Structure 1
Amino acid sequence: MPFANYKFPEGILDHARKEEIIHRTTDLFVEYFGEEVRPYTMVLVEEVNDGGWGRADETLTLEKMGMAPPVS
């Protein structure tokens, strides 16, 4: 079963963007493996609290990446 797991800072994606990511990822797997994988493809879009993730031994925040925090 093809599987993709995306992690994004919390609040930067709306429902429509998440849906687009799911559809486009599914289409990518279908293009690569064939139409028969569509019903078995799983795409997980997770939101991570700001500061709850890191790279290269550094905790990342939206501020450090030069991004504005989401508007509530």
Structure 2
Amino acid sequence: MPFANYKFPQGTLDAAKKEEIIHRTTAMFVEYFGEGVRPYSMVLVDEVADGGWGRADETLTMEKMGIPRN
């Protein structure tokens, strides 16, 4: 089963953007593996609380990255 798990800062995606990510990811799986994988494709879009993740030993926030809230 193809599986994708995206993580985004909380509040940066609305329902329409999440739905688009799910549709486009599923379409990519179908392109690579064929139509038979569509019913078995799983896409999770997780939201992480602001400041709840980091990179290179630094806690990241939306403000630090210049990402506006929706």
Q: Which bin holds the TM-score, normalised by the shorter protein?
A: over 0.9
| Deviation at residue 67 of structure 1 after TM alignment | 2.1
| Deviation at residue 66 of structure 1 after TM alignment | 1.5
**Would you say how many aligned residue pairs link Structure 1 and Structure 2?**
70
More helix by share: 2
| Deviation at residue 18 of structure 1 after TM alignment | 0.2
Q: Which runs of no fewer than 5 residues in structure 1 stay unpaired?
A: none
- TM-score (normalised: structure 2): 0.95
Percent identity of the aligned residues? 79
- TM-score (normalised: structure 1): 0.92
Q: Which runs of no fewer than 5 residues in structure 2 stay unpaired?
A: none
| Deviation at residue 60 of structure 1 after TM alignment | 0.4
- Does the residue aligned with 1:31 lie in a helix, a strand or coil? helix
1:23 counterpart residue number: 23
After TM superposition, where is structure 1 displaced by more than 4 Å over at least 4 residues in a row? Answer: none
Note the alpha carbon deviations across 1:22-67, whole angstroms, 9 max, x for none: 0000000000000000000000000000000111111100011022
- Does the residue aligned with 2:27 lie in a helix, a strand or coil? helix
CA distance in 1, matches of 2:15, 2:66: 23
CA distance in 1, matches of 2:40, 2:34: 11
1:33 counterpart residue number: 33
Residue 5, structure 1, aligned to residue 5, structure 2: yes
CA distance in 2, matches of 1:11, 1:67: 10
